[in-house]
A and B are shown apart, each in its own frame.
Chain A
Amino acid sequence: MNIIDDIILHSPALIVAIPLLGAFLTPLVSKINDKLRNIFVIFIVLFTSAIVLLLANDIYLVCGKIHTYVFGGNAPITEGGFAIRILFEVDGLNIFMALIATILAIAGVIYSWAFMKENTGLDKYYTLYLLMIAGMYGMILTGDMFNFFVFLEITSIASCALIAFWTNKGKAIDAGFKYIVVSATGALFVLFAIAILYGQYNALNMAVLASKIQFSFLDKIALVILISGLAMKAGIVPMHMWLPDAYGRAPASVTLILVGVTQASLYGALRMIFTLYGGKLTTTMNQIGDVSIDLNLVLGIFIVGLALLTIFIGVLMALKENNFKRMIAFAAVAEIGYMILAIGAALTTVFSTNDAGTGMMALKGGVFHILNDALDVGLLFLVAGAIYYATKETSLNQLGGLARNMKYTTIFFLIGLLAVSGMPPMNGFASKLIIYESTYQVNPILSIIAILCSILLLAVFVKVFHSAFLGPKLPKFDNVKEVPKSMLLAMGIIATIIIFIGLFPDMVVNYIVQPAVNALTNNSNYISNVIGGI
């Protein structure tokens, strides 16, 4: 047995443990030298990424493989199904989310190097930054409900402090406060739901719970609370209002990771719906005449309704907004809407016998869009950060003519603009195409609204392009220079991945998205694999 196999065996633990340890070592390292600290943090993130890639390679080699990792040595004591040990599990969906987190984390630390250079208190910044990354990985990889809550709280607290990092600007503290109130409320409700489930089934392990769940009245309450709590963390309208505040005030490098954290919450909701309640989703809830109303139908329609609201309100607010970062935040809200639109549409059809293909396709589009949204919105936030770095302005009313001074940033912005509004040949088009061409089978209105809002998104960012980059040369920006290389490198990494996915969408769908969708829909495989592994 060589060292690579060992690393893969322990990789789920290592992926969380290395950034966590790194976080607590960072203050010590920064006592020595600032540059050494930056190198140390980048090394930690790159090392973690390497492990994620190794694990991903391992997972994708065998179709439908689930990697389980039990903490604390031997198999957990199972007495009447009571699984004591904490358990991490990695299937197609987990590794998909972990890959997204990895891309964001790498871009984030590289970007931070120059972007945060002029700030003080950077040892604390990097400590919290690594904590946030560790928490994000934890949320994604864990197979245990309570553990999920713990990581949710770790990310919440770390990100709250980072949102308020620019304390010299009072509004940042305001945003941090709002964030902690909202996320603490959401997390406590999640904890409440976990307690309900624990009280009934004596188990915290997701697989054990999934195999036992009965769909009693209490389970319904737990489902309602879990989904609402995680939906608030994911920023779904009308619970999205914290998101522009937090995204808008945080440093751009932090916002990038916040996008990942939001996606991780969305992943949590997906996991709860499809895996935890997956077996019971087709339970008939009510019978009116000949028509039986199934749970998946009610849930699907409710989610689709929320999604349409999310897309529409997100994009309309973005159109009106004049603060660059708040605008992108509203656009991010709308993008989340596309994912849950696909997921809701999939819920209504994926369990039926004659229309399952549509549901699978919609789910594919939705999951694919998680990846694309993280990259597109992330890139735009980095561009917004770059503009802030160069001009110290975030209000679009004050900007203008920057395309002359900042050529590379302009090109990266154009790539982000085309990708986020789903223009061909960027990655956004591929996933939106799948979403349009599957949801129209459920109801044509869904794809009509989706197409319309995609064009509105284009209008939103064309406005940014005009007001920040084009127009006459403004005398006050004569001395503005292109941003430092590390920031360009971070934007370049994301832009390259965007173009790669845009040019080879079918390959990405086949190799990365399909396993994730299979993992979502096949919850019996999950249960048998994880429980069998104990």
Chain B
Amino acid sequence: MIEIQDFLRTLATNSGFWNPLIWGIIIFIALLIAYIIRGRGKKEYKKQTEQTKVFLSGNPELEKEEMHVKASNVYWGFMESFKWLYNGLEKMHTGNVSDYILWFVIILGIFFIILGVI
């Protein structure tokens, strides 16, 4: 039967360990400390004033739709450095079902050569 001690055991991988419960205790205590430290700060601010408007270096705020950075613009820097890789990947994903089967046949062939010929 499952005993209470089974719940407490550390996951061992022969190379390392991981015990979520201990981490949980650490996090709880650290959260307490951080919360106390944070609580020493000033809480209030002037709601519904200029203060809470978004900072745009003095430019007027656009419509809400325009203020949200769209998903396709995120990670521009990453996409920019790996344009060459993505161009290749896009060519690979044609969306044509006969290509899907072609890839299957290619893998079948490669696998067959590896296993049959060697």
**Residues of chain A whose beta carbon lies under 8 Å from any beta carbon of chain B:** 177-178, 181-182, 185-186, 189, 217, 220-221, 223-225, 227-228, 231-232, 238-239, 241-242, 245, 285-286, 293, 295, 298-299, 302, 306, 313, 316-317, 319-320, 322, 357-358, 361, 365, 396-397, 399-401, 424-425, 429-430, 433-434, 437-438, 440-441, 459, 463-464, 466-467, 471-476, 502-507, 509-511
Contacts and interface: CB of A to CB of B under 8 A. Distances in A.
Contacts of B65: 474-476
B67 A471 contact: yes
Contacts of A401: 68
B3 to A, nearest CB: 10
Interface in B19-77: 20-21, 23-24, 54, 64-65, 67-72, 74-75
A437 B16 CA distance: 7
B103 A241 contact: yes
Contacts of A502: 20
B18 A429 contact: yes
Interface of B: 2, 6-7, 9-16, 18, 20-21, 23-24, 54, 64-65, 67-72, 74-75, 78-79, 82, 85-86, 89, 92-95, 97, 99-101, 103-104, 106-108, 111-112, 114-116, 118
Given A467-B74, A506-B6, A509-B11, A181 B68 contact: no
A217 B116 CA distance: 7
Nearest to A330: B93
Contacts of B12: 506
B106 A238 contact: yes
Given A238-B107, A322-B72, A471-B69, A505 B64 contact: no
A505 B116 contact: no
B24 A503 contact: yes
Contact of B13 (A302, A319, A361, A396): A361
Contact of A313 (B89, B106, B115): B89
B68 A471 contact: yes
A467 B115 contact: no
Contacts of A245: 95
A186 B54 CA distance: 55
A437 B2 contact: no
B89 A466 contact: no
A181 B82 CA distance: 33
Contact of A302 (B24, B103, B114): B114
A430 B64 contact: no
Contacts of A365: 13
A397 B71 CA distance: 5
B11 A437 contact: no
A407 to B, nearest CB: 19
Nearest to A227: B111
A237 to B, nearest CB: 9
A140 B45 CA distance: 60
A459 B76 CA distance: 13
Contacts of A189: 108
Nearest to B98: A181
Contacts of B116: 217, 220-221, 224
17 contacts: A181-B97, A225-B108, A228-B111, A231-B107, A232-B107, A239-B104, A293-B118, A298-B118, A316-B89, A466-B69, A471-B67, A472-B67, A472-B68, A505-B20, A506-B9, A506-B10, A510-B6
